[in-house]
Chain A
Amino acid sequence: MTAAAQSVGALQEALRTHSRVLPRGAGTKSALSVPADGVTSLDLGGHCGIVDYDPAELTFTARAGTPVREVETALSAERQHLPFDPPWRDATLGGVVAAGTSGPASYRHGGVRDFVIGVDFLDGTGTLVHGGGRVVKNAAGFDLPKLMVGSMGRLGILVALTFKVFPRPEAWTTIRAQSADLESALEQARHLARGPITLDALELEPPGRLWIRVSGPPRTLAPRCERLIRMLDADIERFDGHADARIWSAAREVAWAPAGAAVVKAALTPSRVATLDAELVVAGAARRYSRAATVAWIAWPPQRSLAELDRLLGRHGLTGLALTGPAGSGLLGARTGGAFAHRVRRALDPDDRFPEV
């Protein structure tokens, strides 16, 4: 069943009249937004629009159903941007926060958890509550904005969000560095991550290809790229202007994932990439290692069950989250939070109105 809501009142009404609900934004992440039987899908797509944006404050507030694309257009006009370039530009802000998805540029300044500073949400009792605020620093009360990051619509229904934003770089350029194998590419990534050059993105396309993006005043780019190239032992190609933009636009749309595959992200650390990758190769999964190999993006083949990936990640002590593909609980592999998670969830949703985390 589906219910659409364009106002907080309508959302509260829907929460009152349906026994179990799951919010949905634009539906770009089917694994998290398609409800199970007996759960009503609450469509927030109509609850959209930027509520407040003062460029001098470097913050904006928007309704949860606002598409990322709309926000980026507004910010871009003021030479600002969301520095973590959330994947899937058709996604809504609420969906980005609820899924906790950050794109390649989160390498430089951090991910969605580092930029969301205020949330308004409905808890499981239908009460509208607020966390954080509209100022960039706020230590009053629990950090509910962070808790909502990755909450998958299962701890509350996001209604409005406030983000801090940053000035948009004047220009970008991209270097593709091709190494012989995974080991050598990982070594170069590590070298760059510890090095002096400020990178916007550092993505590893296994086995041996690194995508490196830098930004800044246009006249700094050429000498910095030369310096960067001197640090690398690989075949180099450089992309500017439209070519650069196309590469990252495709990366944000996860265009590399084969059609039908379930896209899963998993948290990891660089030293764990090699052993994980070997198993993913055997399973026939396409993958990218993002943010200097601290997050794996895995395209799990449709002919394999996610239960298999759940076990695989579990064996490595890694936690994953299915974003696209079949509807499910979302989380895969090792779980953290234990009793703390259980108690917090019970406080936010005492009557089990949202699906299990």
Chain B
Amino acid sequence: MSLPLLLEGLASLFPPERLLTGPAELAVYESDALTSFRARPPAVVLPETGEEVVQTVRLCHEHGVPFVPRGSGTSLSGGSLPLQDGIVIALNRLDRILRIDPEESIAVVEPGVINRRVTEAAAEHGLLYAPDPSSQSVCSIGGNLAFNSGGAHCLRHGMTSNHVLGLKAVLPDGEVVRLGGESLESVGPDWLGLFVGSEGLFGIALEVTLRLVAAPEAVRTVLATYANLAAAGDAVARIVADGLLPVAMEIMDKLAIEAAACVVNGIPDVPALLIVELEGERALVDADAERLDAAIAASGALEARATEDPAERVEIWRGRKSAFSAVGRLSPDYLVQDGVVPRTRLGETLAAIERLSSERGLRVANVFHAGDGNLHPLILFDGAEPGALQRAEDLAGDILRLCVRVGGSITGEHGVGVEKLAYLLELTPPEDVELMCRLRRAVDPAELANRGKALPVADEAMSA
């Protein structure tokens, strides 16, 4: 490996203002949204074209230097945490929407395009780009693709992977490939499906073809309040049992509500809050609304309010989606978890989290996608207090082990990154990890692409 030679090569590829090596310029890139992990890379490059990305990757390959692709840096699992001995390829300037084709209902975009820009561009044609991670106003499509991001509405719409039709990507040795195409149908092995969600280990997407759907005619959002979390959970079970298929079902607990109330007005001060959204054809939404209202009434809600007013709906979702960052108002530091449990085990899991939280003496706020069993416990701690981070991490570990024990997963949508790597190794059968490492090394023998994320690197795997 030769970092100096790589830097020399990059200097001939990029003007100085797009090859950052000064400490002040690099400081911004030291971490992503998982701020408890930091590393200063020796250099950051800011390519403006796909070809520059390809050339950069080729140089890294030639000199055996690892690279970390980075979009907006919103990863909550440290997915774009830099390496001290590898460069960062920041993709923000590849931010062109190359094509919106309303006839074929597709959008072709570069990886640095912000999620919400696609949604807005699609809306001009009466179309919708469905994936809506809470960070949608800042997160990039490339990052969404690498981590197969979800969002509140993936209950019915599916994850990012269900909305990516094709891509052009550069593999870790600089070879450029095309996967998938423009059709809704995939034919032959789903290479594209494997690439999406691989946390940058298989290379960098340069052009992404996204599927757009017809914007719904009606959207109805119900906000129901409950005297306790279990009652809100029961309501979700009731809705599912009734055969309804909402696009979103979200629950916030008392602490999360308190946090959201710091930044958004009009959030009711209650122990638990349930948001259910129906969308689609007017006649179907109306028919489902009657049944949904009946189910919520029967579930012992303190109060339920339904709205189709766009401004009110935006406000409700702002409250929900701001909850993560708003928790910062309640505590100097927090860890966000992303475990998944089978839907029927939600109640017992929440009770167990409450127990663990009091045992460890740390507050936990719960905001979660109740419809698909995806929990987001936010563990509050004060990093200035000695040992607090460790206790928070221990509690996070307890929660993840609990999720796996009841048949779930350590991550639903944030990815493994660096943060959950130890848990992946602890909780996944070794032969499954071995196969994934084999796949990774077949594509990237030197393990240059996003080394240290998602999977152990070769010698770590040996000692694990």
| A335→B180 CA distance, assembly (Å) | 9
| A195→B431 CA distance, assembly (Å) | 48
B412 and chain A: residue at smallest CB distance:
A137
| A257→B223 CA distance, assembly (Å) | 51
| A59→B409 CA distance, assembly (Å) | 15
Contact residues, B198-233 vs A (CB, 8 A)? 198, 202, 214, 217
Residue among A133, A146, A155, A193 making CB contact with B161, cutoff 8 Å: A146
Residue among A143, A216, A270 making CB contact with B283, cutoff 8 Å: A216
State whether the Cβ of B298 lies closer than 8 Å to any Cβ in chain A. no
State whether the Cβ of B63 lies closer than 8 Å to any Cβ in chain A. no
A269 and B442 form a contact (CB under 8 A) = no
Residue among B194, B287, B412, B441 making CB contact with A216, cutoff 8 Å: B287
The segment out of A7-15, A248-256, A336-344 that lies at the interface is: A336-344
B194 and A344 form a contact (CB under 8 A) = yes
Give the chain A neighbours of B175 by CB distance below 8 A.
Answer: 338-339
A347 and chain B: residue at smallest CB distance:
B442
CB distance from A355 to the nearest CB of B (A): 13
| A115→B198 CA distance, assembly (Å) | 19
A194 and B214 form a contact (CB under 8 A) = yes
State whether the Cβ of A134 lies closer than 8 Å to any Cβ in chain B. yes
Give the chain B neighbours of A150 by CB distance below 8 A.
Answer: 186-190
| A149→B150 CA distance, assembly (Å) | 21
The segment out of A65-73, A124-132, A204-212, A274-282 that lies at the interface is: A124-132
A141 and B342 form a contact (CB under 8 A) = no
Give the chain B neighbours of A140 by CB distance below 8 A.
Answer: 409-411, 416, 420, 424, 428
B340 and chain A: residue at smallest CB distance:
A135
Give the chain B neighbours of A195 by CB distance below 8 A.
Answer: 214
Residue among B104, B435, B441 making CB contact with A129, cutoff 8 Å: B435
B184 and A346 form a contact (CB under 8 A) = no
Residue among A135, A144, A168, A345 making CB contact with B408, cutoff 8 Å: A135
The segment out of B3-11, B44-52, B235-243, B299-307 that lies at the interface is: B235-243
| A221→B461 CA distance, assembly (Å) | 58
Residue among A138, A223, A347 making CB contact with B340, cutoff 8 Å: A138
Q: Interface residues of B, CB < 8 Å — how many?
A: 91
A147 and chain B: residue at smallest CB distance:
B194
Contact residues, B275-303 vs A (CB, 8 A)? 280-284, 287
State whether the Cβ of B129 lies closer than 8 Å to any Cβ in chain A. no
State whether the Cβ of B350 lies closer than 8 Å to any Cβ in chain A. no
A143 and B438 form a contact (CB under 8 A) = no
Give the chain B neighbours of A270 by CB distance below 8 A.
Answer: 103-104
Residue among A58, A110, A123, A142 making CB contact with B343, cutoff 8 Å: A58
Digitize B48-92: 1 where CB-to-A-CB distance is under 8 Å, 0 elsewhere.
Answer: 000000000000000000000000000000000000000000000
Give the chain A neighbours of B104 by CB distance below 8 A.
Answer: 269-271
Residue among A113, A128, A166, A216 making CB contact with B431, cutoff 8 Å: A128
The segment out of B23-31, B320-328, B367-375 that lies at the interface is: B367-375
A215 and chain B: residue at smallest CB distance:
B284
- Interface Cβ pair total, 8 Å cutoff: 261
A143 and B197 form a contact (CB under 8 A) = yes
| A194→B102 CA distance, assembly (Å) | 9
State whether the Cβ of A90 lies closer than 8 Å to any Cβ in chain B. no
| A166→B191 CA distance, assembly (Å) | 26
A267 and B185 form a contact (CB under 8 A) = yes
State whether the Cβ of A75 lies closer than 8 Å to any Cβ in chain B. no
Given contacts A152-B189, A217-B287, A338-B177, is CB(A141)–CB(B343) below 8 Å? Answer: no
A139 and B413 form a contact (CB under 8 A) = yes
B185 and A56 form a contact (CB under 8 A) = no
A52 and chain B: residue at smallest CB distance:
B407
Contact residues, A290-311 vs B (CB, 8 A)? 291-292, 294-295
State whether the Cβ of B436 lies closer than 8 Å to any Cβ in chain A. yes
State whether the Cβ of B124 lies closer than 8 Å to any Cβ in chain A. no
CB distance from A215 to the nearest CB of B (A): 9
CB distance from B428 to the nearest CB of A (A): 7
A137 and B369 form a contact (CB under 8 A) = yes
Given contacts A130-B432, A166-B245, is CB(A331)–CB(B193) below 8 Å? Answer: no
CB distance from B76 to the nearest CB of A (A): 11
Give the chain B neighbours of A167 by CB distance below 8 A.
Answer: 243-245
Give the chain B neighbours of A197 by CB distance below 8 A.
Answer: 281
CB distance from B308 to the nearest CB of A (A): 15
A114 and B158 form a contact (CB under 8 A) = yes
Give the chain B neighbours of A58 by CB distance below 8 A.
Answer: 240, 343
State whether the Cβ of A18 lies closer than 8 Å to any Cβ in chain B. no
Given contacts A57-B343, A114-B158, A147-B194, is CB(A266)–CB(B373) below 8 Å? Answer: no
Give the chain B neighbours of A152 by CB distance below 8 A.
Answer: 188-189
A339 and B283 form a contact (CB under 8 A) = no
A111 and chain B: residue at smallest CB distance:
B185
B409 and A135 form a contact (CB under 8 A) = yes
Residue among A57, A295, A345 making CB contact with B183, cutoff 8 Å: A295
Give the chain A neighbours of B458 by CB distance below 8 A.
Answer: none
B183 and A139 form a contact (CB under 8 A) = no
Contact residues, B405-431 vs A (CB, 8 A)? 407-416, 420, 424, 428-429, 431
A56 and B241 form a contact (CB under 8 A) = yes
| A56→B366 CA distance, assembly (Å) | 23
Contact residues, B227-269 vs A (CB, 8 A)? 237, 240-241, 243-245
Most chain A CB within 10 A, of B180, B190, B284, B338, is at: B190
A137 and B193 form a contact (CB under 8 A) = no
A146 and B193 form a contact (CB under 8 A) = yes
Additional 8 contacts, C-beta under 8 A, given A140-B420, A151-B189:
A56-B237, A57-B344, A111-B186, A135-B407, A139-B409, A147-B190, A335-B188, A345-B189
Instruction: Please list the 4 inter-chain residue pairs (A to B) with the smallest Cβ-Cβ separation, ordered nearest first.
Output: A146-B193, A347-B442, A267-B183, A167-B243
A-B contact pairs, 27 of them (CB 8 A): A100-B186, A100-B188, A130-B429, A134-B407, A136-B372, A138-B411, A141-B432, A141-B454, A146-B193, A146-B194, A146-B196, A149-B186, A151-B189, A168-B243, A194-B214, A197-B281, A198-B281, A219-B287, A220-B283, A223-B283, A295-B185, A336-B180, A337-B189, A347-B438, A347-B439, A347-B443, A348-B435
